[in-house]
Amino acid sequence: MMHIRDARLEDAAAACAVIRRSIIELCVLDHHHDPAILERWLANKTPAQVAGWMGRADHPVLVAIEDGAILAVGAVRASGEVTLNYVSPDARFRGVSRALLAALEQRASALGAERCWLNSTETARRFYRSAGYVDEGPPKPGYRADVVYPMIKRLPPDSQPTN
């Protein structure tokens, strides 16, 4: 049974492997097997870097786990910016990404965000649209992927924390 929890430092290597495999194997529409694009995109995807992202209250990293294995990795800033959402190729189309995104949105809401926003890849754009995100301006050149698509989703008022 899959569950989602905060990432732990001991998850860093496995989480990093999921992120790297997701980029390499699933994001071909974005990197086109171009070694220069892949090198830029993967440069900060090291176990040490991933470990450095973990444990921050204002920018939590969540993992989806099943049978002790990490299936997906996501992160969201207190502002509502979704900065990571990667699924293992082995878990694609099983609802793992959707469940992780919902958990990221709930966490953003708990941190006070009224909306979530992100820069989608071409690969993920249809997925985000199906999750209620809409385009927020024109596509723009991406640093890692060729082009990114700014997207936004207003969080339901009832998901906002009460004081």
What's the pLDDT tens digit per position in 64-101?
A: 999 999 999 999 999 999 999 999 999 988 999 999 99
Residue 154 pLDDT grade (very low, low, confident, very high; cuts 50, 70, 90): very high
Determine the average pLDDT of the residues in 112-135: 96
Residue 134 pLDDT grade (very low, low, confident, very high; cuts 50, 70, 90): very high
Note the pTM of the prediction, 2 decimals. 0.92
DSSP class of residue 144?
Answer: S
Predicted confidence (pLDDT) at residue 14 exceeds the cutoff of 60: yes
Predicted confidence (pLDDT) at residue 145 exceeds the cutoff of 90: no
Residue 34 has a pLDDT of 92
Closest CA to 69 of 17, 27, 26, 34: 17
CA distance 69 to 18: 10
CA distance 144 to 153: 23
Q: What is the overall mean pLDDT for the chain?
A: 92
Residue 163 has a pLDDT of 40
Which residue range(s) make up the domain with 154? 3-159
- Which CATH number does the domain housing residue 146 bear? 3.40.630.30
Predicted confidence (pLDDT) at residue 141 exceeds the cutoff of 50: yes
Task: Give the total number of structural domains in the chain.
Answer: 1
Closest CA to 116 of 136, 130, 99: 136
